């Protein structure tokens, strides 16, 4: 089969690999679409500590089950699925505490295990979620980032009635705009460098949109979310909280990034700072939101490009020249 292989940081090629064979509890998924995201860029840049090389990237995977190993009851051959990339050990202390996304020995499809930038991918059956008939494969490719966003909102005390400010109007930020509105936020404002992305945020429900220089001295948001990973945005956002406010770190920042933080302000203003790492039991909810039409995917997901154009797709993501870039073997 054809597969994208990152041999080492900055070294990527299209290769021929053996077709995967399912073992006990596994399924083989014929890939329809795979999203390309910021995590893939961090891996290519050698700035993602847990990545292993060589690796087939692609952790936002949708496709059809074409083979099952022994003991697999669900999903069935022929069913369309999305793949939860997280593969926790389920035996370490954090797994036993119900926090498998923080597993001490965590593997992940597309990061430590071969992923979906290929004709086919081997995954554990328990990591597959059947796609409702009414949800297209194009919409379903958003299930993984949407599940990340849902877990992030699970980490904050509440969203209903709060004034929300989101930094970054990329795919994750735009999903966060929609989820915040769904959860009853009083208002959802968005900051982004790009005017086109700000316009999309407004179409998806943002109350106000700002360029970075448009915010002035305002500092009265209950909940500030960074979906950009940019240290300058994070630093600015921390200063925009009202007393008793919450800062949610959702974007993936560079591993060596640091920002100034005043412990006194955290103390005196009773600020809450929360991190959110991937997903935790939120794929079913993501698929329900896609099925119900609560999430508008059409303005986020770009037209798929062929698997052979993976390097070009990466350049598009890196250049912020599109929103959710996807590749597909059959495109």
User: What CATH number did the domain enclosing 174 receive?
Assistant: 3.40.50.720
Shared-domain flag, residues 259 and 283: no
pLDDT in single tens digits along all 331 residues of the chain? 999 999 999 899 999 999 999 999 999 999 999 999 988 988 988 888 788 999 999 999 999 999 999 999 999 999 999 999 999 999 999 999 999 999 999 999 999 999 999 999 999 999 999 999 999 999 999 999 999 999 999 999 899 999 999 999 999 999 999 999 999 999 999 999 999 999 999 999 999 999 999 998 888 999 999 999 999 999 999 999 999 999 999 999 988 899 999 999 999 999 999 999 999 999 999 999 999 999 999 999 999 999 999 999 999 999 888 999 999 998 8
User: What CATH number did the domain enclosing 287 receive?
Assistant: 3.90.180.10
Shared-domain flag, residues 160 and 269: yes
Per-residue model confidence (pLDDT) at position 63:
98
Provide the domain limits for residue 270: 156-275
Q: Are strands 26-36 and 80-83 parallel, antiparallel or unpaired?
A: unpaired
SS3 content of the chain, % helix, strand, coil (to 5): 30, 30, 45
Task: Let me know: does 90 contact 107? Beta carbons within 8 Å.
Answer: no
Shared-domain flag, residues 66 and 179: no
The model's pTM is 0.96
User: End-to-end alpha-carbon separation of the chain, Å?
Assistant: 15
Shared-domain flag, residues 127 and 18: yes
Shared-domain flag, residues 247 and 171: yes
Shared-domain flag, residues 114 and 7: yes
Residue 63 is encoded by which pair of tokens? 């496709």
Shared-domain flag, residues 143 and 10: yes
Shared-domain flag, residues 98 and 52: yes
Q: Of 232, 248, 275, at which residue does a domain stop?
A: 275
In angstroms, rounded to a whole number, what is the distance separating the alpha carbons of residues 39 and 51? 10
Task: Let me know: does 279 contact 147? Beta carbons within 8 Å.
Answer: yes
Shared-domain flag, residues 312 and 183: no
Shared-domain flag, residues 183 and 65: no
Shared-domain flag, residues 230 and 306: no
Per-residue model confidence (pLDDT) at position 281:
95
The structural domain count of the chain equals 2
Per-residue model confidence (pLDDT) at position 47:
82
Shared-domain flag, residues 52 and 195: no
Supply φ then ψ for residue 16, to 5 degrees.
-100, 120
Bridge partner residues of 67 (DSSP):
28
Contacts of 212 (CB under 8 A, 6+ apart): 191, 193, 232, 233, 236
Per-residue model confidence (pLDDT) at position 93:
97
Per-residue model confidence (pLDDT) at position 255:
84
Per-residue model confidence (pLDDT) at position 66:
98
Per-residue model confidence (pLDDT) at position 50:
85
């Amino acid at each position: 089969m054809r597969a994208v292989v990152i041999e080492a940081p900055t070294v990527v090629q299209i290769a021929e690999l053996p077709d995967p064979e399912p073992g006990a509890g596994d399924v083989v998924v014929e890939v329809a679409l795979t999203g390309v995201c910021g995590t893939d860029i961090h891996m290519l840049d050698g700035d993602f500590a847990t990545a292993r090389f060589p690796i087939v990237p692609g952790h936002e995977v949708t496709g059809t089950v074409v083979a099952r190993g022994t003991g697999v009851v669900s999903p069935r051959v022929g069913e369309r699925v999305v793949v939860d990339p997280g593969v926790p050990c389920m035996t370490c202390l954090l797994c036993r505490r119900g926090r498998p996304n923080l597993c001490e020995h965590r593997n992940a499809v597309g990061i430590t295990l071969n992923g979906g930038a290929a004709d086919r991918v081997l995954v554990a059956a328990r990591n597959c979620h059947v796609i409702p008939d009414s949800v297209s494969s194009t919409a379903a490719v958003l299930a993984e980032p949407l599940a990340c966003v849902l877990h992030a909102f699970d980490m904050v005390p509440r969203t209903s009635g709060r004034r929300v400010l989101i930094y970054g109007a990329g795919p994750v930020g735009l999903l966060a705009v929609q989820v915040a509105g769904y959860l009853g936020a009083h208002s959802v404002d968005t900051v982004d460098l790009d005017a086109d992305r700000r316009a999309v945020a407004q179409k998806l429900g943002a109350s106000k949109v700002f360029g970075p220089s448009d915010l002035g001295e305002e500092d009265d948001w209950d909940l500030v979310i960074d979906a950009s990973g940019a240290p300058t945005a994070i630093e600015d956002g921390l200063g925009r909280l009202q007393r008793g406010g919450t800062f949610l770190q959702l974007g993936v920042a560079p591993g060596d990034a640091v920002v100034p933080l005043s412990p006194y302000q955290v103390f005196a203003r009773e600020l809450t700072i929360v991190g959110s790492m991937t997903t935790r039991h939120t794929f079913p909810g993501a698929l329900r939101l896609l099925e119900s039409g609560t999430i508008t995917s059409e303005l986020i997901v770009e037209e798929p490009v062929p698997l052979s154009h993976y390097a070009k797709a990466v350049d598009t993501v890196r250049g912020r020249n599109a929103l959710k870039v996807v590749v597909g073997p059959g495109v």
